A and B are shown apart, each in its own frame.
Chain A
């Protein structure tokens, strides 16, 4: 089996025409193959998220992770960039949508592309994956434990975002949701409310909540890592993207 792949830092055109950094990983094949936009978690465009991006390439997808903190901290280390971005109140929603649009456009421009692009995000990126799926023409979306899709951030938080439930009717692709049953953000009640609303709207979606897992159970470098949930979650992700992004 030929399994060569290439992974590199590239520049893409994001929101407002800004040039932003991104990490592109892809199998060296003629195609046609699907694409995946990876939205990093709040701690940033870190080595673990770039490893996730390579994992999608190893599974046969062209994958790209835009550095959402490129503007606040060009060239800075991921932890310094994350500190600067959080001090500024996080990534504005419209900028996120523009950056994901730029990343998806880049994937579709590859000669190997089949034109299909999915999005996946973790932690704050889970909410942002849902936002992107309600705002852009994508073929599949995965929300990994994104908070504040249903509930409003606490008033003392500096996070300047709003819930997204009122946009659920604009969800334009199938959604896979992977959650920890012991997570408080999003809580099981919040997940259940989103599930209920998407069912009312007849939006194709598939939610799984793992017992014994809380927030960030995919994060291999954190004590929150739960191998059983993560291994099963990865299987579900690849089955889901296989259905919606291949061919």
Chain B
């Protein structure tokens, strides 16, 4: 099915695609048909620079287990970063997620 399940997140980030680095301001996270991954559904992430148009996009299509592994790795990295290098509330939230929903 075409799920159209989407989470849209405002972000501050840079993403490299073609032809180079993009100042991305939005991310779409969705579970739907991939364009390229040989699977019927996948967890897809688009990093977007909407003011530059729809082609200003860095995209990944992950199988569900890979997506979970990636999410866990991101949380573990944020939770274990040396104190003072990132906001305390971000580190605390990462630790809480790891202990709770993903524990």
**Beyond the given A46-B35, A77-B55, could you list 20 further A-B residue pairs with CB under 8 A, ordered by the A residue number?**
A41-B33, A42-B33, A43-B33, A44-B35, A75-B55, A76-B53, A79-B59, A80-B55, A83-B54, A84-B54, A86-B32, A90-B2, A90-B4, A153-B4, A157-B3, A158-B4, A158-B6, A185-B1, A185-B2, A224-B40
Tell whether B39 is near chain A: CB-to-CB under 8 Å. Answer: yes
Residues of A within 8 Å of B35, CB to CB, are: 43-44, 46, 78-79, 82
Tell whether A159 is near chain B: CB-to-CB under 8 Å. Answer: yes
Tell whether B102 is near chain A: CB-to-CB under 8 Å. Answer: no
Determine chain A's interface SS by DSSP, over half rule. Answer: loop
- Complex alpha-carbon distance, A43 and B55, angstroms: 15
Tell whether B28 is near chain A: CB-to-CB under 8 Å. Answer: yes
14 residue pairs from A and B, CB less than 8 Å apart: A43-B33, A73-B54, A75-B55, A76-B53, A80-B57, A83-B46, A86-B4, A86-B6, A87-B46, A215-B40, A216-B33, A216-B40, A222-B38, A222-B40
Given A42-B32, A79-B35, A79-B36, answer yes or no on A157-B57 (Cβ-Cβ < 8 Å). Answer: no
Closest to A214 in B: B40
Contact call A215/B57, Cβ cutoff below 8 A: no
A79 CB to closest chain B CB (Å) equals: 4
- B23-75 residues with Cβ-Cβ distance < 8 A to A are 28, 30, 32-33, 35-36, 38-40, 44, 46, 53-55, 57, 59
Contact call A89/B4, Cβ cutoff below 8 A: yes
- Complex alpha-carbon distance, A160 and B32, angstroms: 15
Residues of B within 8 Å of A41, CB to CB, are: 33
- Complex alpha-carbon distance, A44 and B54, angstroms: 14
Q: Which of B2, B5, B40, B57 contacts A83 (CB 8 A)?
A: B57
Residues of A within 8 Å of B1, CB to CB, are: 147, 184-185, 215
- A65-96 residues with Cβ-Cβ distance < 8 A to B are 72-73, 75-84, 86-87, 89-90
- Chain B: residues with Cβ within 8 Å of the partner, total of 23
Contact call A156/B5, Cβ cutoff below 8 A: yes
Residues of B within 8 Å of A222, CB to CB, are: 38, 40
Tell whether A97 is near chain B: CB-to-CB under 8 Å. Answer: no
- Complex alpha-carbon distance, A44 and B4, angstroms: 14
- Complex alpha-carbon distance, A137 and B59, angstroms: 40
B42 CB to closest chain A CB (Å) equals: 11
B16 CB to closest chain A CB (Å) equals: 16
- Complex alpha-carbon distance, A81 and B6, angstroms: 16
Tell whether A139 is near chain B: CB-to-CB under 8 Å. Answer: no
Tell whether B14 is near chain A: CB-to-CB under 8 Å. Answer: no
B70 CB to closest chain A CB (Å) equals: 19
